[in-house]
Structure 1
Amino acid sequence: MKVKKIIAVFILLVLVIISGVAAVFLLHHKKGNKSQMEELSSKLTPYDELLYDGNFYRTCYEVFVYSFADGNADGIGDICGLTDNLNYIRSAERDDKEGLGCTELWLMPIFPSPTYHKYDVTDYMNVDKEYGTMNDFTTLLDKCHGRGIKVILDLPLNHTSVEHPWFMEAVDYLRNLKSGEKPDSKACKYIDYYNFSHEPADGYEKLTDNWYYEARFWSGMPDLNLDNEDVRNEIEVILRFWIEKGVDGFRLDAVTSYYSEDKNRNIEFTKWINDKAKEINNKTYIVGEAWADQKIYSEYYKSGADSFFDFRFSGPDGVIASTVKGVKRPSYYGEALQEEEELYSEMSDGKAINAPFYTNHDMARSAGYYLEEDMVKQAGALNLLVTGNAFIYYGEELGMRGSGKDENKRTAFPWVGEDGGEKGITNCKGPKDASKQELTYGSLEDQKKDKYSIYNYYKNAIRIRNAFPAISKGRTTVIEDKTTDSVLTFKRALADTPDLGDVLIVINFSSEDQTVEMAGLEEYGNLSAVLTVSEKRVKFNKKELKIPARGIAFLTR
């Protein structure tokens, strides 16, 4: 009997100890020590040249102001709301540990417009009243520059709104012509600002029984006549207005549509814009959207513009998604990096800056490409490991979802969950025609509490990118004998100083732990940073590197 009691007491004691250890482990996982990612990245120092000089090898955050942050409680995002939340994008501290660490901000159109998206402009030299005032904008600009954040504006020049005064005056003039009277541009110069015709044609919309106008996107966006000298003069005035305000650059919308599919004329006009902008300020950054195959959009670098978006890596079937989903081997990503860097080194006398991005306001959000959160995280890192000026669409760092109609891809940024959060913090309403999108991975408030969330993963990935100039400006060399069906190993080094600040990057694309023997790579003896999707740690003992599932290791000399 005594023996049974002793055994029972012993078992109870063991259970108490086990439960105590489990409780401590769970507490540690949720609220305890830093993750290995944060342990290492917190020791990194942002590369000063990247933050405070004129170069554009940066990390850019794309914001749809309408859906981001509401500063006056009307449900619509605005510039004051964005300014109030700049610490989220990058804090005022030089060694930014509070914010994401982004060093550039791309604002989708902020000009007056009758639509929620504002790509059909009525006044190119003002701010839409829904978003605030010009004073609000200059305050935002000043605070961004104080944080080392460059600001670029989205500039749709292919078309205006039908409510733009230029178009309205032209239409009024044409409607009042007497029967048989020919239009005279001396009487109304604006009739030559657009392309009007007596005959119906592909891409033209009906104005009256006698007149049609070119509008290839939709009837509310009449195409400008970009050959007209007065139109070009107007554009030059617009460029000067914003550059003199302090804007650092422009994103050129739909450059392949300037002259429909006439590539040579599109390139010529893009060159004209780039030249005019740089005449005003030679540090003005120009990035163009040439939505086409790489063979085509790479030719647009003949314009001299700094960057064009790299569609090869983006989307559900691009290089990133194909390797993360296992459709392609890890070497496919590495080889694509090498090919890209070789291509861009030949463009514009080596001055071309690639513009990698993973998704944007016209594409389905990337969290919907995958069934596993671990894949969502790793895919985000792969975008940030492409050289050039990397772009992140707002909310990707939270795993926001949205596909189908455009409104679904531009929904409100979830500062808090549906039940609300901290006092004074509310979400925007977002586009009224958007379908409700599930917050699969939680709001920002939720994710800040979880050190292994998508948000904290992105934050560490950006900090790593900011710390190593070779990541954004270097050249890739794949280490073939250390690359397998599960692992990619490559060096990234600056071309002019290959042994200074170079980094060895090892990526585990599989869902299982992988070991890489370090023979031949002994000079990379420091584990400087990691990206991990769970509490499992990267282990390194000089001779071998053990990387958990979907993990990434950064080693230096």
Structure 2
Amino acid sequence: MTKSDWFKDVVVYQIYTRSFFDSNGDGVGDIAGVTAKLDYIEKLGVDVIWISPFCSSPNYDNGYDVSDYRDVMKEFGFMDDIELLIEECHKRNIKVMMDLVLNHSSDEHPWFIEARSSKDSPKRDYYIWSKEPNNWESYFEDSAWTFDESSEEYYLHHFYYKQPDLNWSNPKLREEMYEIVQWWIDKGIDAFRLDAIHHIGKPEGLPDALEPEKRWSKRNYRNTEETHQYLQELYEKVLINHDVMTVGETGGTTPESSRLYVDQDRNELDMVFHFGHVLTKKLDAPILRDYFKKWYHSLSPKGWDTVFFSNHDLPRHISIFGDDQDYRKESAKLFATLELTMWGTPYIYQGEEIGMTNVIFDDIDDYQDQASKKRYEWALKSGKSEEKALEYFLQRNRDNARTPMQWNSQEHGGFTTGEPWIKVNPNYKSINVEEENQEADSILNYYKELIALHKDNNALKRGDFKLYGEEDSHILAYTRTDEEREFLILLNISGDSVEYRIDEINQDWNLVIGNYAKQPESLSQNNLFKPWEARVYMINK
């Protein structure tokens, strides 16, 4: 079997297993809970489910600290549960994407336990050690180095001290990782989301950051030439023989540097996640227009892109970029329209299809996200007022995306019969799947219609992309075109009522979907758009 480009035609649904559905009442979502909800996922219409890390883990970082790559974490179930999930997904023509952590392991992994036991250990060089560490900082700690008293050296960790980085410059370690990828492919995994993959290649000599006073400037240990070499080797030794999809997490990439990962002639990854559009304070039509234009022209025609606005590490986009109060339904539908008509593979994060929002708990102790709490402390130390630091924490902490899925208005939103590992958003009584299913024009039903439209029209999957209205400050306008059809998408990225003028009008445009009950079936030169209004028109060629 050889690789194909089926990844260009799918819609992906991300599941944060811990918060999706608890099948046994222990308060933690599990693999059996995902299987129990496959009928819901099938009716939604998605093609791939992305499952958050499920390998054995002490869960210091919710599964992103792996202690055994060939077993399942106890909280989530057993290997039989994974095998059944894969089998049931395939029966429904749903593919399974595994979230695989290759940059680092847990400090409780047998490799690291053996590595720190002796400097002469065969596993010592599976990790990165130094007597005199450089000035790198980690994402979650003050320093990227922790002193190991037993061996009297420092070890490197880009993230928590309990997540030591693996040494990919060691050929034996690389072979171990390739065998792990192959092992899961043999289990039936169809796709991989490769966590923090842009960090696997460390620059030779581990040089100091040039501007240590600037915190983010120290990221000279990501997106290196070594990383590209290792990914090409992974492709040649494993991926080339299998029709699997790969997407890499590659923070800090530009349109130009991302092209190195996804250019089909380089044989590395199918697509990458980049975060410039979701780490801004606001999104408006000019920002999005400039963003999509740069990425499309840089990556096409030999590369491919991802389209997303939320995930497990980000706040709910409806609360940050939309309006989760007066126009929750309208702005949620607008971003759905953008997500499912833009060039690239759309990724839907659990709960966005019912308009789930950020959460504000009464007590900061109710939040579980230790990394965001650390950043809150850093903000205070840097001189920000407690009010400003808390405001940023409430908006951006990762628990906004990790509160349990809201299935119904029963206790804990129907997520569990026990005590949930994190509190449910108090608005679950009015925002939940059961409520959305009963409402004809709900956000959920709109997602279903859009996914079906995307699936049935090649123009919305692989069609050419062209922007219009370069000077407009409110309306994002673009077309998606193939040999049979052309779609015109008009989005008012604002809470204002605005007029949008189209000078050259083809009278044959027909409205195929929109987010208001009453919208013009055809276009005129002067068009009035309501707040957060989205329209999709189509013309047959």
Q: TM exceeds 0.5?
A: yes
Number of paired residues? Answer: 461
Task: Give deviations 1:357-379, integer Å, cap 9, x for gaps.
Answer: 11211111212213331223312
CA positional deviation for 1:268: 1.8
> Which whole-Å CA distance do the structure 2 matches of 1:168 and 1:395 have between them?
39
Structure 1 residues 555 and 61, CA gap change in structure 2 (3 angstroms) = same
- Retained in 2: the 8 A contact 1:274–1:286? no
In structure 2, the residue matched to 1:86 is 38
Task: Give deviations 1:222-247, integer Å, cap 9, x for gaps.
Answer: 11111112111111110111111111
Task: Give deviations 1:35-59, integer Å, cap 9, x for gaps.
Answer: xxxxxxxxxxxxxxxxx99444311
User: Could you tell me which of 62, 79, 82 is aligned with 2:14?
Assistant: 62
- Spell out the pairing of 1:302-381 with structure 2 (5 A cutoff): 302=266, 304-317=268-281, 322-323=283-284, 328-329=285-286, 333-334=288-289, 336-346=291-301, 350=302, 352-369=303-320, 370-371=322-323, 372-373=327-328, 374-381=330-337
Q: Kindly provide the amino acid, as one letter, of the partner of residue 337 in structure 1.
A: F
User: Is 1:151 matched with 2:96?
Assistant: yes
> Which whole-Å CA distance do the structure 1 matches of 2:349 and 2:418 have between them?
17
Structure 1 residues 525 and 538, CA gap change in structure 2 (3 angstroms) = closer
> Which whole-Å CA distance do the structure 2 matches of 1:237 and 1:364 have between them?
35
- Retained in 2: the 8 A contact 1:539–1:547? no
- Retained in 2: the 8 A contact 1:376–1:399? yes
> Which whole-Å CA distance do the structure 1 matches of 2:29 and 2:195 have between them?
22
In structure 2, the residue matched to 1:531 is 514
| Structure 1 residues without counterparts, runs of 5 or longer | 1-51, 91-98, 175-182
> Which whole-Å CA distance do the structure 2 matches of 1:428 and 1:256 have between them?
39
CA positional deviation for 1:291: 0.7
In structure 1, the residue matched to 2:373 is none
> Which whole-Å CA distance do the structure 2 matches of 1:200 and 1:543 have between them?
64
- Retained in 1: the 8 A contact 2:7–2:345? no
In structure 2, the residue matched to 1:414 is 406
User: Is 1:193 matched with 2:160?
Assistant: no
In structure 2, the residue matched to 1:125 is 70
> Which whole-Å CA distance do the structure 1 matches of 2:316 and 2:222 have between them?
28
Describe the SS at the equivalent of 1:414: coil
Describe the SS at the equivalent of 1:261: coil
> Which whole-Å CA distance do the structure 2 matches of 1:487 and 1:197 have between them?
54
Q: Kindly provide the amino acid, as one letter, of the partner of residue 382 in structure 1.
A: L
Q: Kindly provide the amino acid, as one letter, of the partner of residue 341 in structure 1.
A: Y
| Percent of pairs with identical residues | 28
In structure 1, the residue matched to 2:464 is 475
> Which whole-Å CA distance do the structure 2 matches of 1:220 and 1:53 have between them?
37
Q: Kindly provide the amino acid, as one letter, of the partner of residue 14 in structure 2.
A: E
CA positional deviation for 1:129: 2.1
TM-score, normalised with respect to structure 2: 0.77
Structure 1 residues 514 and 229, CA gap change in structure 2 (3 angstroms) = same
Q: Kindly provide the amino acid, as one letter, of the partner of residue 552 in structure 1.
A: R
Task: Give deviations 1:174-219, integer Å, cap 9, x for gaps.
Answer: 2xxxxxxxx33xxx31111112233455422111162322122111
In structure 1, the residue matched to 2:217 is none
- Spell out the pairing of 1:89-128 with structure 2 (5 A cutoff): 89-90=41-42, 99-115=43-59, 117-128=62-73
CA positional deviation for 1:158: 0.9
> Which whole-Å CA distance do the structure 2 matches of 1:502 and 1:541 have between them?
15
In structure 2, the residue matched to 1:466 is 455
- Retained in 2: the 8 A contact 1:388–1:472? yes
Q: Kindly provide the amino acid, as one letter, of the partner of residue 536 in structure 2.
A: A
User: Is 1:160 matched with 2:105?
Assistant: yes
In structure 2, the residue matched to 1:21 is none
User: Is 1:204 matched with 2:196?
Assistant: no
User: Is 1:506 matched with 2:490?
Assistant: yes
Describe the SS at the equivalent of 2:40: helix
- Retained in 2: the 8 A contact 1:113–1:120? yes
| Structure 2 residues without counterparts, runs of 5 or longer | 136-143, 203-220, 359-394
User: Could you tell me which of 348, 366, 369 is aligned with 1:392?
Assistant: 348
Q: Kindly provide the amino acid, as one letter, of the partner of residue 165 in structure 1.
A: P
CA positional deviation for 1:479: 4.3
CA positional deviation for 1:133: 1.9
Structure 1 residues 168 and 489, CA gap change in structure 2 (3 angstroms) = closer
Structure 1 residues 336 and 215, CA gap change in structure 2 (3 angstroms) = closer
Q: Kindly provide the amino acid, as one letter, of the partner of residue 299 in structure 1.
A: L
> Which whole-Å CA distance do the structure 1 matches of 2:502 and 2:222 have between them?
51
Q: Kindly provide the amino acid, as one letter, of the partner of residue 193 in structure 2.
A: R
Describe the SS at the equivalent of 1:153: strand
In structure 1, the residue matched to 2:162 is 220
Structure 1 residues 204 and 484, CA gap change in structure 2 (3 angstroms) = closer
- Spell out the pairing of 1:485-504 with structure 2 (5 A cutoff): 485-494=473-482, 499-504=483-488
Structure number with larger C-alpha Rg: 1
Task: Give deviations 1:319-362, integer Å, cap 9, x for gaps.
Answer: xx522xxxx44xx544543443222125xxx1x22112112111
Describe the SS at the equivalent of 1:322: coil
- Retained in 1: the 8 A contact 2:191–2:245? yes
User: Is 1:278 matched with 2:266?
Assistant: no
Structure 1 residues 271 and 525, CA gap change in structure 2 (3 angstroms) = same
Describe the SS at the equivalent of 1:412: coil
> Which whole-Å CA distance do the structure 2 matches of 1:436 and 1:490 have between them?
36
TM-score, normalised with respect to structure 1: 0.75
- Retained in 2: the 8 A contact 1:361–1:406? yes
Structure 1 residues 236 and 541, CA gap change in structure 2 (3 angstroms) = closer
Structure 1 residues 427 and 548, CA gap change in structure 2 (3 angstroms) = farther
CA positional deviation for 1:65: 0.9
CA positional deviation for 1:311: 2.3
Describe the SS at the equivalent of 1:189: coil
- Retained in 2: the 8 A contact 1:66–1:430? no
CA positional deviation for 1:303: 5.6
- Retained in 2: the 8 A contact 1:411–1:430? no
> Which whole-Å CA distance do the structure 1 matches of 2:341 and 2:222 have between them?
32
> Which whole-Å CA distance do the structure 2 matches of 1:391 and 1:543 have between them?
34
> Which whole-Å CA distance do the structure 2 matches of 1:340 and 1:127 have between them?
37
> Which whole-Å CA distance do the structure 2 matches of 1:208 and 1:201 have between them?
18
User: Could you tell me which of 522, 527, 541 is aligned with 1:540?
Assistant: 522
Bigger mean CA offset, 398-407 vs 458-467: 398-407
Q: Kindly provide the amino acid, as one letter, of the partner of residue 123 in structure 2.
A: Y
